[in-house]
Chains A and B, each alone.
Chain A
Amino acid sequence: MKAISHLILFCTTILLCTSCSKEGGPAPDQSRTGNLQLKFDHIVGGKKLQLGTGEYTNGDGELFTIDMLKYYISNIVLHDAAGGEYVVPQDESYYLVDASAVESQFVNIEVPEGDYTQLTFIIGVDSLRSTMPIDHRTGVLDPAGDHLSGGMYWSWNSGYIFFKMEGRSPAIDLTGDPTGQHRYRYHIGGFGGYDTPTVNNIKTIEIDLSRAGTANVRSGLSSNIHLFVDASKVFNGATTVSLAAHPTVMFGDYSQVIANNYQTMFAHDHTHNFETISGIHE
């Protein structure tokens, strides 16, 4: 009897230790796979993004709202400390994140077990995929997709819109928006041109996970990488962008300024490891 209670105590201790541990756990076995989740959490400076209703101020002192925010994430690669890398298969590596659609903000991918210290991805769609035959443009890349209500494809200048942000600002007058709605419209694309080089706004994002939490991917469990996406960086990045001066930015040279700015909007906040797969959203 005493032996059994000792055994129970021992087992409980082991279980408690295991569940407390954020590090450690069994060593990764690359022949097995586990779930990796990327969570895109939208903020504006120090505030949570409230789509359509929240009011914010940019670096130029202009008040603005964000009524629409969406962008492509693609070509996801994971790196471990030993220099190994896992490239998510190309056909499964395109996601459209939309601030108005909660499901789109959680990207779940099945990857080999590993302790990943770096995450890289592209904001936008690589030039190779942008020029592939129509059969290879399915899912979020289908030019007929409603792209979560709002086209992400330019038909007159074949290519995807990588990043779309729209909203309002009292700083925008009738010259800036002749419709009188005080709207700004940023539609950023440009994969570099098919046969003539032109604007290339394909941006690779590298995120160091080692500081705020290595992603420990294990079979049957989920490792959740929580990213903060700060939309204020669109105006307050390398260049301070004035909404009054640039209410509409689409296919033009200034799109490169916006793309350079939004390249800096991703930051790793923390990672939850060894999460159960159920209730995978939060």
Chain B
Amino acid sequence: MNRQQTGVRQVVVLCLVLACAMACNKAADVAPAWFGGFRKPANFPDPVYDLSANPVTKEGFELGRRLFHDPLLSRNNTISCASCHIQSSAFTHHGHDVSHGIDDRLGVRNAQPIMNLAWSRTFFWDGGVFHLDMLPVAPIENPVEMDETLANVLTKLRQHKQYPQLFEKAFGNSEITTANFLKALSQFMLMAVSSNSKYDKVMRGEAGVAFTGDEQAGYVLYQQHCAGCHVEPLFTDQSFRDNGLGPNPVDDRGRYEITLDNADRYRFKVPSLRNLRYTAPYMHDGRLLTLDAVIEHYRHEVRETLNLDPLLRHDGGLRGITLSETDKGQLLAFLETLNDAEFVTNPIFRNEN
């Protein structure tokens, strides 16, 4: 063994000793290996959210995670964001057509997933909110969700034993401001990136991952019949459309409530097709309970509504999407590849408190 090799061996040993010493430290003292901040997946476009105005830090994310799970955000301290946005359901309210908020009051719309919001231009089914930082104010102040005021949430946080310290760690200032409160929640939501479905791995050309024959055939059918609205890789073009469901009993007029434009009556934001396995029921009011029912809607049940989307209108008065039984099976097989098991089980989103 020559001198150089001995030197290398010594360095290796030293590194191992150091690594052991670091591993022996308390977890809180060392940034866990999982925290890499916000990372844009290779097959995604640039995010819409300006991350330079609110860089995601470990402390900011952890503060946001704690706030997300804290029922203190509601009037009587019973409802947290996580009450209706459950990770195992891709941050939706599994099994609920509409959610029950404070005092079990019911809303009129289906809880949407908190997923890939860094790429969202607008939020909610009607797009009434146009900045992620402004999103949490809506559920906090909605009388059927958390029924609290933003001012009072801040008062409760300021009087809390731990929060001022956590804000100090995250933002270098223990004073709890509206901006820092909302930015912490944004940091948590920004990290909720779902990009590890089989589809993503195929698109990124990851070794050993390929579509089956049915999935590939389903992908072609998706491109023919669905991609007009559900654009890759987010699987939504974020537009507002009327897909022929027809008004519901509460006559929710969707986008019209925001624009007051008659052409927007009964139009709703095009939802993503990612993680459908975890997010049933479907549509803005949760009226369709299964994916099978969703495809049947497009095959046979699209109604002649006021603002029916032109993509669902065909020559000869035909409406909807023409699919054979075989097509349907293949399309469902492709949609399965958009489920991201890592996202719904990733321990970094779990409540640590």
Contact = CB atoms under 8 A, between A and B. Distances in A.
B53 interface: yes
The 7 closest A-B pairs by CB, nearest first: A144-B150, A155-B137, A157-B128, A144-B178, A194-B130, A155-B138, A134-B179
Given A134-B133, A143-B137, A144-B151, A155 B259 contact: no
B129 A156 contact: yes
A145 B133 contact: no
Contact of B260 (A131, A142, A158, A199): A199
A251 B258 CA distance: 8
B276 to A, nearest CB: 26
A144 B154 contact: yes
A199 B257 CA distance: 11
B121 A133 contact: no
Given A134-B179, A134-B182, A156-B128, A146 B151 contact: yes
A155 B141 CA distance: 7
B130 A131 contact: yes
Interface string B247-288: 000000000011111001000000000000000000000000
B151 A198 contact: no
Contacts of A282: none
Given A142-B178, A146-B151, A194-B130, A156 B259 contact: no
26 contacts: A133-B133, A134-B134, A134-B182, A135-B53, A137-B178, A142-B178, A143-B150, A143-B178, A144-B151, A144-B181, A151-B149, A155-B134, A155-B137, A155-B150, A156-B129, A156-B142, A157-B129, A157-B258, A158-B129, A194-B122, A194-B130, A195-B121, A196-B258, A196-B259, A198-B258, A252-B260
B140 interface: yes
Contacts of B138: 155-156
Contacts of B198: none
Interface residues of A, number: 26
B183 interface: yes
A98 to B, nearest CB: 16
Contacts, number: 78
Nearest to B136: A155
B75 interface: no
A143 B138 CA distance: 11
Candidate in B121, B122, B150, B154 with the most chain A CB atoms within 10 angstroms: B150
A146 B149 contact: yes
B128 A145 contact: no
B131 interface: yes
B74 to A, nearest CB: 14
A60 interface: no
Given A144-B178, A197-B259, 10 more contacts: A133-B50, A135-B179, A146-B149, A151-B141, A155-B138, A155-B140, A158-B128, A194-B122, A198-B261, A253-B260
Contacts of A199: 260
Contacts of A131: 130-131
A158 B134 contact: yes
A151 B148 CA distance: 12
Interface in B171-190: 178-179, 181-183
Interface in B108-151: 121-122, 124, 128-131, 133-134, 137-138, 140-142, 149-151
Nearest to B138: A155
Interface in A122-143: 131, 133-135, 137, 142-143
A193 interface: yes
A137 B182 CA distance: 12
A199 B261 CA distance: 10
A199 B256 CA distance: 12
A228 B178 CA distance: 35
Contact of B130 (A142, A155, A195, A252): A195
A143 B50 CA distance: 20
A153 B129 CA distance: 12
Nearest to A190: B260
Candidate in A144, A151, A153 with the most chain B CB atoms within 10 angstroms: A144
A135 B180 CA distance: 9
A198 B142 contact: no
B120 to A, nearest CB: 12
A151 B259 CA distance: 22
Interface string A56-76: 000000000000000000000
Contacts of B178: 134, 137, 142-144
Contacts of A153: 137
Contacts of B179: 134-135, 137
Nearest to A147: B151
A133 B53 contact: yes
Given A143-B137, A155-B138, A156-B138, A196 B151 contact: no
